[in-house]
Amino acid sequence: MPKVDYPAMYPLGVENPMMQRAFQTLTSVVVGAAVLLGPVATRQNAIAQDAKAKADGGISLELNKLEASDKGCRAYVVVSNPTDATYDAYKLDLVMFQPDGIIGRRFAVDLAPLRPSKRTVKLFELDGTQCDGIGSFLVNDVMECRASSGPVSDCLANMKVNSLTKIEISK
């Protein structure tokens, strides 16, 4: 085997062939570990992103406005994502109560995509329901909660809700 001299590859003072071989072995181990542990680091990054969402309080929903529309009632919801995560899915199970407390209807609404560190206004139509026929909303559950890094846990527990209208929203 021809001898190849790589003087720039070795730290200063490593001219002993045994030390050079040890340095090559160490370099191979470090590179191999980086290749093998890359997926672990990616999973740890996803866990850290999930923890940051919890620390930042998670997603907040604000029922901002209700207005009459041709189809019934239009709801404006301000969604704030203070986290560093992009949410590809954020699907809610909502229950609308009538002013007398009787359940009026149940429906799903997907608020995604939610970009990181961003406030967004989302609209949804309540076909066949007049705004004065709404007493309150309940976020019954989060049906799907997925960031670009994967599923996010405890989305309902970490969600904050409030209303700027006379119609209450709770969870």
Q: How confident is the model at residue 165 (pLDDT cuts 50, 70, 90)?
A: very high
- Residues 6 or more apart whose Cβ sits within 8 Å of residue 91: 108, 109, 110, 111, 112, 142, 143, 144, 145
pLDDT at 18 > cutoff 80: no
Residue that wins the pLDDT comparison between 116 and 38: 116
Can you tell me the mean pLDDT for 16-28? 55
Residue that wins the pLDDT comparison between 98 and 19: 98
pLDDT at 140 > cutoff 80: yes
Is-contact 167 136, C-beta < 8 A?
Answer: yes
pLDDT (0 to 100) of residue 158: 96
- What does the pLDDT look like over 30-88, one tens digit per residue? 444 444 444 444 445 444 444 444 454 699 999 999 999 999 999 999 999 999 999 99
pLDDT at 115 > cutoff 90: yes
Full set of structural domains in the chain with CATH: 55-170 (2.60.40)
Can you tell me the mean pLDDT for 5-17? 52
- Residues 6 or more apart whose Cβ sits within 8 Å of residue 85: 49, 50, 52, 53, 116, 147, 148, 149, 152
DSSP-assigned letter for residue 56:
T
Q: What is the pLDDT of the chain when averaged over all its residues?
A: 81
% of the chain exceeding 90 in pLDDT: 67
* Token pair listed for 11: 């730290």
Identity of the residue numbered 117: S
